[in-house]
């Protein structure tokens, strides 16, 4: 059956976006590159494709999760930007994602070892902006899926990228045999319908809802997003209450993958930064155990970095100093190895 994800599971409605922004609502823009691996111009081949990501960005986290869980680390190369955008003193001005492996993180006082130069275009560009500019696009966001052979951007929408990596994992050169590799979007009507419904709910209330709470400057918009976010956590807690290990049952799917980046960031970052201080994930025993279960899956822990998250979310907008907690009941992400901590 065909992929059925609706636009409202992928991106925000842009209706009255300018007026909504003027009133203080955070409205995420729509990304423009929507080619697919498997199109005639973009055949599925091992070694041909490349990802540009920032490890603090939750939309990139979806993509690094899919790459690792599907065994594509060796066949899809990847560059990692510094978690803070350029500063006021940058010759190109502030606010651009940059590849800066030597830049010092205020949190650690040292460069971040995961950060790389740009190696996908063959030109060693410093700013993500310039990857778009060479295609005449004013866009600036990560993640980007890039075709090294054609020198073109394939797609810059994480929901679409993870779906195509799942569909094409075999021909792209996955190191995992078909029989044992997770299928993130199993081909049965009922499972896909359930994943689609969860995706839409999680995108609006949780993934993007966290940004609406944290980045809107209107109290009513914030309050609505805050309420919807915690109502969603309650609902997810209840769903997991029947003992199912994953959101749709026995298997890890796209719905779990898309929930993880937000839940992973909640206690150590979003609670404070996104003003989502109603409760911690630790206060939801089922959700906490789900987080620990997913974090323990092969490839998952390595797909994210709380150091990049802390540096990225606080380093720029919080006077350049990064809050150090939480330390109780234990530091994160080590806490994710302890499902027994909750409840
Ligand atoms: N629709 C995109 C959204 C990606 C997105 O919003 N990325 C942010 C970082 S978290 C970004 O790069 N924004 C532009 C900028 O900061 O310059 C996706 O899910 O792939």
Same domain, 204 and 156: no
Count up the domains in the chain and report the number.
2
Residue 138 falls within a domain, yes or no?
A: yes
Question: 33 CB less than 6 Å from ligand 1?
Answer: no
Does residue 313 form part of some domain? yes
Asked if the structure places residue 167 within a domain, the reply is yes
Task: Tell me the CA–centroid distance for residue 225 and ligand 1, in Å.
Answer: 19
pLDDT of 76-128, one tens digit each? Answer: 999 999 999 999 999 999 999 999 999 999 999 999 999 999 999 999 999 99
pLDDT higher than threshold 70 for residue 293? yes
Secondary element (H or E) of residue 152:
strand 152-155
Known active-site residue 57: yes
What is the layout of strands, in order, in the sheet containing 49-54? 76-81, 49-54, 144-147, 152-155
273 within domain boundaries: yes
pLDDT of residue 261: 98
Q: Is 195 in the same domain as 325?
A: yes
Ligand 1 pocket member 142 (CB < 6 A): yes
pLDDT tier, 4 (very low <50, low <70, confident <90, very high otherwise): low
147-166 mean pLDDT: 98
Same-domain status, 201 and 160? no
Q: Could you tell me if 156 and 204 lie in one domain?
A: no
Q: Are 193 and 297 part of one and the same domain?
A: yes
pTM: 0.96
Report the C-alpha gap between 39 and 62 in whole angstroms: 22
Domain final residue pick, 172, 206, 239: 172
Q: What is the pLDDT of residues 274-289, one digit of tens each?
A: 999 999 999 999 999 9
Task: Please indicate, yes or no, if residue 182 is contained in any of the structural domains.
Answer: no
- What's the gap in Å between 328 CA and the centre of ligand 1? 32
Statement to judge: residues 197 and 168 lie in one domain: no
CATH of the domain at 309: 1.20.1050.10
The answer on 297 and 325 residing in a single domain is: yes
Domain assignment present for residue 5? The answer is no
**Residue of the CA atom closest to atom 15 of ligand 1:** 141
pLDDT in tens, 297-327: 999 999 999 999 999 999 767 788 899 999 9
Query: Which 3 state secondary structure label does DSSP give 144?
Result: strand
Same-domain pairing of 161 and 273: no
Q: For tokens 């195509």, name the residue.
A: 164
Looking at ligand 1, which residue's alpha carbon is closest to its atom 16?
Answer: 141
321 vs 318: CA distance, rounded Å: 6
110/242 Cα distance (integer angstroms): 46
pLDDT for the residue numbered 253: 98
- Specify the pLDDT at position 16: 85
Structural domain for 60, as ranges: 31-172
Q: Is residue 289 part of a domain?
A: yes
For the chain, the average pLDDT equals: 95
Question: Is the minimum distance from the CB of 270 to ligand 1 under 6 angstroms?
Answer: no
The CB of 57 under 6 Å from ligand 1? The reply is yes
In this structure, are 158 and 215 located in the same domain? no
- Ligand 1 centre distance from Cα of residue 178 (Å): 31
**CA-to-CA dists, residue 38 to 67, 154, 169, 172, 229, angstroms:** 17, 11, 11, 10, 36
Evaluate whether 45 touches 170 at the Cβ level (below 8 Å).
Answer: no
On whether residue 184 sits in a domain, the answer given is: no
Domain containing residue 54: CATH number: 3.40.30.10
Q: 11-15, 74-78, 113-117, 212-216 — which is least confidently predicted?
A: 11-15
User: Which of 172, 203, 227 corresponds to the end of one domain?
Assistant: 172
**309 noted as active-site residue:** no
Indicate if 130 and 39 belong to the same structural domain: yes
143 lines ligand 1 (CB under 6 A): yes
């Amino acid at each position: 059956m065909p992929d059925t994800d609706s636009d409202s599971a992928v991106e925000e409605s842009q209706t009255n976006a300018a007026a909504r922004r003027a009133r203080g609502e955070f409205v995420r823009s729509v990304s423009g590159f929507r080619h697919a691996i498997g199109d005639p111009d973009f055949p599925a081949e091992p070694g041909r494709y490349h990802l540009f990501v920032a490890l603090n960005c939750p939309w990139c986290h979806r993509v690094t999760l899919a790459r690792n869980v599907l065994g594509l680390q060796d066949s899809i190369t990847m560059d990692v930007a510094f978690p803070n955008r350029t500063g006021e003193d940058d010759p190109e001005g502030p606010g651009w994602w940059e590849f800066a492996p030597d830049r010092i993180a205020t949190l650690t006082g040292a460069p971040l070892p995961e950060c790389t130069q740009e190696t996908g275009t063959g030109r060693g560009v410093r700013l993500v902006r310039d990857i778009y500019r060479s295609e005449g696009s004013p866009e600036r966001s990560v993640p980007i899926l890039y075709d090294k052979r054609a020198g073109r951007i394939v797609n810059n929408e994480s929901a679409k990228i993870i779906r195509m990596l799942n569909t094409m994992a075999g021909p792209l050169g996955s190191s995992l045999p078909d029989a044992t590799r997770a299928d993130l979007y199993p081909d049965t009507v009922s499972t896909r319908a359930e994943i689609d419904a969860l995706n839409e709910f999680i995108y609006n209330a949780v993934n993007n809802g966290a940004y609406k709470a944290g980045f809107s400057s209107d109290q009513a918009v914030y309050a609505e997003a805050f309420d919807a976010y915690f109502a969603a956590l309650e609902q997810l807690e209840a769903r997991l209450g029947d003992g199912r290990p994953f959101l749709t049952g026995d298997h890890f799917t796209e719905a779990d993958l898309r929930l993880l980046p937000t839940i992973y960031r909640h206690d150590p970052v979003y609670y404070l930064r996104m003003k989502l201080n109603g409760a911690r994930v630790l206060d939801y025993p089922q959700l906490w155990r789900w987080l620990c279960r997913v974090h323990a899956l092969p490839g998952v822990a390595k797909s994210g970095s709380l150091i990049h998250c802390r540096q990225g979310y606080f380093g720029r907008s919080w006077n350049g100093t990064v809050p150090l907690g939480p330390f109780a009941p234990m530091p994160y992400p080590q806490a994710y190895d302890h499902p027994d901590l909750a409840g």
